[in-house]
């Protein structure tokens, strides 16, 4: 491949953002601005689909590699994809246009700036999943903080400043230790190129500390218990599109990082720290599910459910079983779709009623039936009903976990029950029951764009629920290779 397809994927949204930057910032321009942003992101989505089609699923090594000198004799700009990262890229390019369509009702002021922030965010997120050099990865990983900080801070709710600061400082604090680790890796091995590092391996005596440094960053971003507290705040205060990006893609960066870097670079340390991850994951699953049960705020409830779901993901990754890791990746993709959909469904009624409290609602089913059906689908997908993509992920993860550690798997299965409990209870309180609030009688059902967005999300959730083969085929070889490499490295040390 001579055409730098990955770089164009990364750059295209930024170019679109630049284009927007030079349009006049007037209210009359809003439609044009939106179409430009939408056009850019849709083109990017099509490119990524082309990437998926031309991607060779039978090869485990990285494809579409671009390798250019960047900082002379020190760091190369290296990007490439394998079966694992390509799915996240497609998730990113798929979610972004939906976010852009969804801004219709929620963003009133400075629409242009908002879309610029979203597009730049997209560039950085794609960059994270493509990067094959630790420094390039760090660069994209951290750079994403800037647009997200602004999205929460400028367009967020009442406590937006607090949430934006908390989000930024928590993540930054986690990440700086990773930077120390990355530079140390450079001095230990002489390179930050991931592919080369896979071959060379890192000396066992350094692995534990380096693993912990990477862990500190990924744990905050995942977020794992007990450093998850920034997430509910950020989610609640962010505008709908921001919450969607945060839940659907930003959280996945950490899961991806665990697979790509923690397992790939530090197999010995990963083996040592697996109990820690198990413990934290199980706590996250059970504890945050219980917290989710008690929430009065819908967005907060979904935020806590995200923490619980990400607990499943980290659990699956560190089972080091084929099923476990595949399950985690599918769970991440599925959670990306489902949580995005749930935030959007909450956004729909929030735009109409300006309240996120569960107690405001009740009896929606008789007024807005279309909405209620879609909401039910997403709620069921979130709790992992067979036939939705959520089921495949959770099932594979638990299968992997049972192979590795019976107790952990049993405890994690409890989380599935709790997940069903809080999701169904939420649904019951919002959609069923008596219609008490008089104001609710006036609200309208889904308009055309909302209907379109939610069906776009519902389609893959159902499709992959019944037929997950396209996903599994894409990741299978890469995951197998990862596990092979892991066990070889482990055996040789």
Partner 1 sequence: MENLNLILPEIFISLSIMFLLVLGVFKKDSSKLVFNLSLFVILITTIITINETFSVNRITLFNQSVVIDHLSSFMKIITLICGFLVLIISSSYLKTFKLFNIEYPILILSSILGMMVMISSNDLIVFYMGLELQSLALYVLATYNRDQLKSSEAGLKYFVLSALSSGLLLYGCSLVYGFSGSTNFDLISNQLNSNEYVLTFGIVFILVGLAFKISAVPFHMWAPDVYEGSPTTVTLFFTMVPKIAALTVFIRFLYVPFSNLLDQWQMIVVFLSIASMLFGAIAAIGQTNIKRLIAYSSIGHIGYTLAGLATASNEGIQSSITYISIYVVMNLALFSCLLMLKRNNQYYEDIDDLSGLSKNHPLLSLCLLAILFSLAGIPPLAGFFAKFYIFTAVLEQSMYFLAIVGLLSTVVAAFYYLRIIKIIYFDKEKEKYDDDHSLWLKFSLTLSTILILLYFAFPSQLIEVVSRINII
Q: Which residues of the shown chain bind partner 1 in the complex (CB under 8 A)?
A: 25, 69-72, 113, 135, 138-140, 142-143, 145-146, 149-150, 153-154, 160-161, 164-165, 168-169, 172-173, 176-177, 179-180, 183-184, 186-187
Nearer to partner 1, 177 or 482 (CB): 177
Nearer to partner 1, 148 or 399 (CB): 148
CB of 308 to partner 1, least distance (A): 28
* 359, two tokens: 């107690």
CB of 173 to partner 1, least distance (A): 5
CB of 344 to partner 1, least distance (A): 25
CB of 365 to partner 1, least distance (A): 39
CB of 23 to partner 1, least distance (A): 13
Nearer to partner 1, 12 or 431 (CB): 12
Nearer to partner 1, 27 or 72 (CB): 72
CB of 356 to partner 1, least distance (A): 21
Nearer to partner 1, 106 or 184 (CB): 184
Nearer to partner 1, 217 or 262 (CB): 217
CB of 160 to partner 1, least distance (A): 7
| Residue 114 neighbours by CB under 8 Å, 6+ apart | 103, 107, 151, 154, 155, 239, 241
CB of 124 to partner 1, least distance (A): 9
- C-alpha span between 393 and 310 (Å, rounded): 11
Nearer to partner 1, 139 or 462 (CB): 139
Nearer to partner 1, 223 or 324 (CB): 223
Task: Identify whether the C-beta of residue 457 lies closer than 8 Å to the C-beta of residue 334.
Answer: no
């Amino acid at each position: 491949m001579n055409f730098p397809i990955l770089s164009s994927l990364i750059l295209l949204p930024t170019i679109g953002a630049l284009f927007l930057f030079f349009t006049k910032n007037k209210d009359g321009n809003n439609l044009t601005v939106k179409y430009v942003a939408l056009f850019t992101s849709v083109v990017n989505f099509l490119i990524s689909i082309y990437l998926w089609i031309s991607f060779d699923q039978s090869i485990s090594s990285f494809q579409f590699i671009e390798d250019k000198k960047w900082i002379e004799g020190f760091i190369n700009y290296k990007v490439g994809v394998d079966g694992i990262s390509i799915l996240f890229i497609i998730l990113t390019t798929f979610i972004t246009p939906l976010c852009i369509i969804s801004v219709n009702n929620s963003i009133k002021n400075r629409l242009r700036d908002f879309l610029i922030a979203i597009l730049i965010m997209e560039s950085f997120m794609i960059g994270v999943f493509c990067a094959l050099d630790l420094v390039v990865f760090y660069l994209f990983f951290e750079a994403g903080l800037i647009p997200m900080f602004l999205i929460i801070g400028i367009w967020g709710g009442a406590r937006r400043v607090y949430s934006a600061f908390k989000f930024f400082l928590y993540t930054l604090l986690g990440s700086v230790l990773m930077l120390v680790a990355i530079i140390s890796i450079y001095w230990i091995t002489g390179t930050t190129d991931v592919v080369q590092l896979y071959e060379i391996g890192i000396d066992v005596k350094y692995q534990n500390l380096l693993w912990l440094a990477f862990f500190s960053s990924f744990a905050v971003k995942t977020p794992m218990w007990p450093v998850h507290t920034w997430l509910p705040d950020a989610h609640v205060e962010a505008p709908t599109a921001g919450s969607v990006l945060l839940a659907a893609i930003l959280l996945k960066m950490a899961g991806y990082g665990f697979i790509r870097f923690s397992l790939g670079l530090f197999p010995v340390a990963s083996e040592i720290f697996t109990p820690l991850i198990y413990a934290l994951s199980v706590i996250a699953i059970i504890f945050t599910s219980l917290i989710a049960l008690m929430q009065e705020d819908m967005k907060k409830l979904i935020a806590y459910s995200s923490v619980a779901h990400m607990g499943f993901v980290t659990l699956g990754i560190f089972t080091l079983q084929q099923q476990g890791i595949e399950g985690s990746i599918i769970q991440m993709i599925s959670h990306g779709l489902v949580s995005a959909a749930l935030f959007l469904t909450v956004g729909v009624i929030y735009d109409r009623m300006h309240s996120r409290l569960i107690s405001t609602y009740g009896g929606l089913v008789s007024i807005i039936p279309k909405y209620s059906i879609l909401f039910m689908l997403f709620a069921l997908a979130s709790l992992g009903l067979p036939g939705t993509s959520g089921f495949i992920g959770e099932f594979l993860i638990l299968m992997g976990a049972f192979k590795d550690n019976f107790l952990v798997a049993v405890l994690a299965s409890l989380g599935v029950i709790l997940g069903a409990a809080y999701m169904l209870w939420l649904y019951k309180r919002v959609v069923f029951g008596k219609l008490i609030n008089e104001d609710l009688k006036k609200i309208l059902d889904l308009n055309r764009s909302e209907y379109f967005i939610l069906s776009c999300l519902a389609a893959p959730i159902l499709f992959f629920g019944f037929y997950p083969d396209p996903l599994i085929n894409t990741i299978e070889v890469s995951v197998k290779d990862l596990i092979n490499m892991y066990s070889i490295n482990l055996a040789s040390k």
